[in-house]
Amino acid sequence: MRDEEIRGTGALLVNGSGQYLLHLRDDIPGICDPGSWSLIGGNRRPGECLGVTVRRELWEEAELVVPALERFTVVESRGPDGVAKGLVQVFRGRWEGDAVGLPLSEGVMLHWFDPETVPRLRMSPWAREAIRQDQAEVLV
């Protein structure tokens, strides 16, 4: 798969306790996964590389800088109508900060969740799949 085929990015951030940093999206009609927990991320701009996109989105949405992000997996995203919207490159990184203290410019809130809690959340399907894949690696 070529990078040009990938439309968006997401940041799968994990702390030392194995918790995931999730972003509660606004409940606004017309956006993808309204009112759901997801990963910080977004669509790339024309000519922008995926690494730049994920770092830009982290900064724009939460003034967050995560130096060591690595490509993890590619998952499919769907729009509010269920139609395939495109592919998302998920980057994985470690961050130990206070989610509540971040200046959120988009969405409702950020929160750390234990892996055991994730299945009970209303969640973006692509983000849930990225966490499932991460947990499968942890269990190996």
pLDDT tens-digit series, residues 66-106:
999 999 999 998 766 666 778 999 999 999 999 999 999 98
How many domains does the chain contain in total?
Answer: 1
SS3 breakdown of the chain: % helix, strand, coil, rounded to 5?
25, 35, 40
State which residues form the domain around 128: 3-139
Closest-CA residue to 11 (of 121, 110, 115)? 110
- Amino acid 14: pLDDT: 98
Task: Give me the CATH number covering residue 59.
Answer: 3.90.79.10
Q: What is the mean pLDDT of the chain?
A: 92
- What CA–CA distance (Å, rounded) separates 44 from 116? 31
- What CA–CA distance (Å, rounded) separates 86 from 23? 20
Average pLDDT over residues 97-119: 94
Query: Which of residues 37 and 84 earns the better pLDDT score?
Result: 37
Amino acid (1-letter code) at residue 135:
Q
Answer yes or no: pTM beyond 0.85.
yes
- Amino acid 84: pLDDT: 73
